[in-house]
Structure 1
Amino acid sequence: MMYKKRLRFSLSVAAIITILSSIVLPTSTYADDGNGENFSLTIMHMNDTHAHVEPLPNMITAIKEVRAENPDALLFNAGDVFSGTLYFNQFKGQADLALMNMMDIDAMTFGNHEFDLGSSENGHKSLSAFIAGANFPFVSANVDFSGDAYVGNKVSNTFTEEAQDSTVYDGMVKEINGEKIGIFGLTTEETLETSSPVNAKISNYAAEAERAVSAFEEMGVDKIVALTHIGYDSNPAVGNDLMLAEQVDGIDVIVGGHSHTKLEQPTVVNTDENGEAKDPTIIVQAYQYAENLGELDVEFNDQGQVVGYEGRLIDVTEKQADPDAVSVLASYKNEVDQVSNEEIGAVALKPLLNPRLSDSDVSVRADETELGNLITDAMLAKAQEKMPEVSIAMQNGGGIRAAIDQGPITVGEVIAVLPFGNDPAVVQLSGDEIKQILEYSVHLAPAESGGFLQVSGMKFTYDSTKEAGSRVVSIQVKDGDGYADIQPGQMYAVTTNNFTAKGGDGYDVFAQAYADGRVQDLGEIDWEQFRDYMVEDLNGEVNPVIEGRITDLEGKEPEPTEPPEEPKEETPDPNGDGDKEENPGDDKPQENPKDDNKPKDEDKNNQDDKDSTPPPSSQNNNGNGSNSGGSIVKVSDDKTSPISSGNKLPNTATNMYTYMLAGVVLLAAGAGLFIIKRKKAKA
């Protein structure tokens, strides 16, 4: 039997209608093919709730309203339930699950954050408990859990028509009014960098999607939904929904997550990667944090082709909370509120923002920020209490998740800022490796990147207009009250969170250091370090500022790091041979009185004194004085000879002028005597 998944109909009437309708009426109207046998399906969807449990009772109300009109509507969760609020820190997903079990979810796939506890738990213990307690199945075609001791026994690597709750399948089939719907899941390969999958393996999204489509076609299924957590338009190096729609024939609907994209209307892809016409694929995504419930109505013809659709986002904040769900939430909320509302004993003297480019000119993922400085200062100070040799702190911007309001700071605010509960670590890195890390940190600048590093104990300058990998212009490490240039071959102790220390966000240099055994766990929790620093080290007064730790030159020339050299006075060369001699007073840099008000730290940025003045061999030696006054007296090769300060001539020159003057006097006297004798003789 031939299925539409392998067909091209570029010259058919249906193809022309498909293409024209996607251009003219992109939100709703692929035409009926005229045979009156079309099948309509309603899909509800949610993604990236990130432990925002409190809106879920409102979400349940919205779900019930949709089902009141469409009883057969399917409900999908596209992942990232884990991590983000105190609910997750306290209950490891169980608070979310208690409410999700009231939603009658048809399938869920795994987001990258479902793997966040892998390292700390030496496997996916909490995820296993989440799966075991779910009254819905999971789909994941490209995640292999066979190596995980906790989840491995909950996996069935099949495409099944009899899916069971609390089980992970490659894919599953739902039958609605006699029509079979194939559903498979995909998780971004970025999980290998952005989370801690440990023994779970993640394979290529496109290859596994091809396998899933083929499997469903063999089962006689011609309506296929991909439930993905790969991002709408995310990193093309690891794939995204737009690429999936172009590359893999046979996918009718993509229900997505990961990029937190707010698609008010569905996106239609009806050409492949070569620009040739293909069966349309509808892409939807519902933003983040349980703020919206997505609803998609899609219509198929008898060949399984999409011929009509309409989609929207339902703002759940406008819905009344479901009373039964509120009761379920109450027991969790009471505990969270009790912990969250506790004041830590520190006060923010101003709002500490967590800016993003969506609503600001700067971003925690692209620029130095006050909150980033505060967090890294805390990391550095607390690491130094255990390991005084630690000199640098680095925090990935993507790990900073919330702002802090002005006023008394609460536990809830602290945990919201650093919700992942990462363990701080110390990494031994060379100066050259640090440069490579900073190059990677800014390789996407000025665009945002979760791997962009906030720093403490150092400062650096880069130029975002230069080619990625060659952007860092200068790096200085804190040295007493100032800064000193980093030394490529010197080793430095750097503290960061264990996620970054193991190579998270794609940091190969950190990953190599970890493989080499150069990473040491500090046995702390990052948010507790942060809390204690504000209370103990800052005495409860929190007021960080921008200090110029990270500077983007944006194509401009860097400002000089030391004052220009004062012109040297010149002295005639008594030998007349054109040789130059440096001002004897310049064996060390002269102070510039114009720079009396320059910050002391800025002076520390300069090279060592011994390198401030170029050696004689590097000076102009063309026989002409470098200034208009003639040749410069050359410094004596005798390093033990005394050298005067200021503009005095050296003693050797003074003595020579004395001898010359005496000679002139004697010569004049001799000439006078000669003239007198001549006159007497004539007389």
Structure 2
Amino acid sequence: MYFIHRNFLFFLFLFPIIFMGCKSKQEIQPSISSPSLVLKEEKKEKKEATVEIPKVEPSVEATKTASIEAPKVDNKSPKEERIRILYLGSWEGTLLPFMDAGKKSGGLAWIVSLTKKRTSPYTMIFSTGDLLSGDISDTKDITPALNMLNLSASALGNLELNYGAQGIKKRIEKISFPILSANVYEGEKRLFEPYLIREINGIKIGIIGLTTEESAVQVVPEMIKGLTFRDPIRECGLCLKEIEGKVDIIIVLSNMRYEKDILLAEAYPKIGLILGRYDVDPTHLMARKGNVLISRINSKKGKEIGEIEILKMQDSWQCTMPKIYQIGPEGEDSIGLSPDEQALAFIQECQKQEKEMNEVIFENKQHLHGDYQDIRQKETNLGNLFADILLETRQGAEVALINSGCIRSSIPPGPVTKEILRNCLPYNNKIVEISLRGDILKEVLENSVAQYEKISGAFLQVAGLTFSFDTRLPKFSRVTEIKVLGEPLVQDKKYKVVTLDYITGGGDDYVMLKDYPVLYVCPEPMLKIMENYLKVHPDIKPGVEGRIIIK
């Protein structure tokens, strides 16, 4: 009995030690050699939102659920081996808050306020490109605003290229951070530096910038004459060879689509972190390919800012789960924040210069749908409105075509000012008239839906015609029926078509129209035409009429 009693007491003594040992062993993650990153799940104090890591391929275990939590502010010494990454995508020079899903979102003053709050001695702030609006008619200098973002670097986006090679260099000549692009060339020389190496908190970081190859068809052709867009994955590989052995961590600022980022991660597992361009697909916000973490945000114009911490644990570099902050006067992560005073002062100065932009054009009585995914994948009432106005600009015209990529936002009910309309139509497009045979018109519509799955800006909003297409059919063979003014399309008949100079210049891959004879060019830009029309016709009530049928 004494033996049993003694052993029972001994077991009671050992039990807490065994239990705590097992628990700590469960929390240890496998070590991975630098500079690769792995996801690190932090201890949670309350129930959190979760996001599923997108499944990249069957062989990758990508169905685990990853909790999202902001890395906690602490008083740890800056000598600790860690860095904090803040990132935004497609800001588009949006100075003021805007209405989104019924809330006032974004705004320079709120972005600056939050980034200041989250900045520590070991913080770097990045942009994945499209910092500027791409509107060449907007001549105001927003250099002070760009510098207030306190960026460490930005990738070159396709919107920047709207200003042309020399135009973009002039607009950014006084900014405080570098623009990076490894794959855009002017002749045999890169247009911008491909990468930089920064040391922060004793950690050497290599940052590479990549620009989407789609810029070759997304940008007005005349603005990119002399530029070539080389394979970004290959060019990234050349940069990696140059910085190999010189850095602890490699970060890529990618202005490419999700699918291309996955290929990049597959090609170069030594990359630690890929920050991608914004993407409306929620399943694309975070992915893991091997040890490479890919992260992006879901909204543009400064509505969201992402945060990741990279820290050294057990001799390997590891990433915390991304935290996405909702920014703006009514953003849930801006509660308790005051707008930055310096940013407000700059905005007020801009507003003095743009007082006329507050002029009300008309009183809108319905929501006009121009959101990214809507306008690029289906007929919308706003697309119909703009296409109808185009059609009315030329007497005798039978068809109007407008690419959805030139429409950048919805128009909510209420007073519509010049500024709201310009935010919706920021580009300096001209309206043109051409004559097209029926077979060429069909080819144009085929191009409109060829990249449907990619939510492409090439998708056309139309007037004067209706068409049906089937996404299950091969590309360039998807259009199944076309009617012009209610009659079936005649292949060899010529039709009078009103469209934009961007399209006839070969933009959005409408190469069949490049150098096509232009019969008429409207002397005023499209924005002015729309403004004048809406002043005269304020009681517009556009609807969806079955002009585009998706099978």
TM-score range, shorter chain: 0.7 to 0.9
Shift of 1:468: 3.7
Residue matched to 1:62 = 114
CA distance, structure 1, for counterparts of residue 457 and residue 163 of structure 2: 19
Task: Give yes or no for contact 1:266–1:310 (8 Å, CA) kept in 2.
Answer: no
Match of 2:318 among 307, 329, 347: 307
Q: Residue 173 of structure 2 aligns to a residue in which SS?
A: helix
Q: Residue 450 of structure 2 aligns to a residue in which SS?
A: coil
Q: How many residues align?
A: 470
Match of 2:203 among 163, 169, 179: 179
Match of 2:251 among 217, 225, 235: 225
Name the CA shift for 1:103/1:544 in 2 (closer, same or farther; >3 Å). Answer: closer
Residue matched to 1:269 = 289
Task: Give yes or no for contact 2:129–2:277 (8 Å, CA) kept in 1.
Answer: yes
- Normalised to the residue count of structure 1, the TM-score between the two structures is 0.63
CA distance, structure 2, for counterparts of residue 42 and residue 453 of structure 1: 42
Q: Residue 455 of structure 1 aligns to a residue in which SS?
A: strand
Shift of 1:418: 1.3
Residue matched to 2:89 = 47
Q: Does 1:138 align with 2:179?
A: yes
1:38-71 per-residue CA deviation (whole Å, 9 max, x = no partner) reads 832211111111121121121112122122xx21
CA RMSD of aligned residues (A): 3.3
CA distance, structure 2, for counterparts of residue 104 and residue 546 of structure 1: 44
Residue matched to 2:482 = 475
Match of 1:290 among 268, 290, 302: 302
Shift of 1:390: 3.4
Residue matched to 2:8 = none
CA distance, structure 1, for counterparts of residue 348 and residue 256 of structure 2: 33
Match of 2:488 among 466, 480, 485: 485
CA distance, structure 2, for counterparts of residue 265 and residue 487 of structure 1: 45
Shift of 1:263: 8.5
Task: Give yes or no for contact 1:39–1:302 (8 Å, CA) kept in 2.
Answer: no
CA distance, structure 2, for counterparts of residue 443 and residue 307 of structure 1: 40
CA distance, structure 2, for counterparts of residue 308 and residue 458 of structure 1: 52
Task: Give yes or no for contact 2:380–2:544 (8 Å, CA) kept in 1.
Answer: yes
Match of 2:541 among 540, 543, 558: 543
CA distance, structure 2, for counterparts of residue 546 and residue 62 of structure 1: 40
CA distance, structure 1, for counterparts of residue 432 and residue 166 of structure 2: 21
Task: Give yes or no for contact 1:263–1:285 (8 Å, CA) kept in 2.
Answer: no
CA distance, structure 2, for counterparts of residue 377 and residue 25 of structure 1: 47
Shift of 1:485: 2.9
Task: Give yes or no for contact 1:263–1:284 (8 Å, CA) kept in 2.
Answer: no
Residue matched to 2:440 = 433
Shift of 1:400: 1.7
Q: Residue 74 of structure 1 aligns to a residue in which SS?
A: strand
Name the CA shift for 1:230/1:434 in 2 (closer, same or farther; >3 Å). Answer: same
Residue matched to 1:208 = 235
CA distance, structure 1, for counterparts of residue 404 and residue 138 of structure 2: 24
CA distance, structure 1, for counterparts of residue 416 and residue 125 of structure 2: 39
Q: Which amino acid aligns with 1:249?
A: P
CA distance, structure 1, for counterparts of residue 247 and residue 520 of structure 2: 52
Name the CA shift for 1:66/1:114 in 2 (closer, same or farther; >3 Å). Answer: same
Aligned 1:606-645 pairs, distance under 5 A: none
Task: Give yes or no for contact 2:387–2:461 (8 Å, CA) kept in 1.
Answer: yes
Match of 1:353 among 344, 364, 369: 369
CA distance, structure 2, for counterparts of residue 520 and residue 301 of structure 1: 66
Q: Which amino acid aligns with 1:267?
A: A
Q: Does 1:248 align with 2:268?
A: yes
> Rg larger in 1 or in 2?
1
Q: Residue 442 of structure 1 aligns to a residue in which SS?
A: helix
CA distance, structure 1, for counterparts of residue 489 and residue 157 of structure 2: 39
Q: Residue 515 of structure 1 aligns to a residue in which SS?
A: coil
Task: Give yes or no for contact 1:27–1:266 (8 Å, CA) kept in 2.
Answer: no
Shift of 1:438: 1.3
Q: Does 1:320 align with 2:346?
A: no
Task: Give yes or no for contact 2:134–2:160 (8 Å, CA) kept in 1.
Answer: no
Task: Give yes or no for contact 2:155–2:253 (8 Å, CA) kept in 1.
Answer: yes
Aligned 1:410-449 pairs, distance under 5 A: 410-443=417-450, 448-449=455-456
Residue identity (%)? 25
Match of 1:116 among 143, 152, 162: 162
Q: Which amino acid aligns with 1:101?
A: N
Task: Give yes or no for contact 1:171–1:212 (8 Å, CA) kept in 2.
Answer: yes
Q: Which amino acid aligns with 2:169?
A: S
Q: Which amino acid aligns with 1:225?
A: I
Which of the pair has the greater relative contact order for Cα pairs under 8 Å at 6+ separation? 2
Shift of 1:294: 1.7
Task: Give yes or no for contact 2:83–2:201 (8 Å, CA) kept in 1.
Answer: no
CA distance, structure 2, for counterparts of residue 397 and residue 354 of structure 1: 8
Q: Does 1:507 align with 2:510?
A: yes
Shift of 1:203: 1.0
Task: Give yes or no for contact 2:90–2:129 (8 Å, CA) kept in 1.
Answer: yes
Structure 1 residue runs of 5 or longer lacking an equivalent are: 1-11, 30-36, 158-167, 271-279, 358-362, 555-683
- Normalised to the residue count of structure 2, the TM-score between the two structures is 0.77
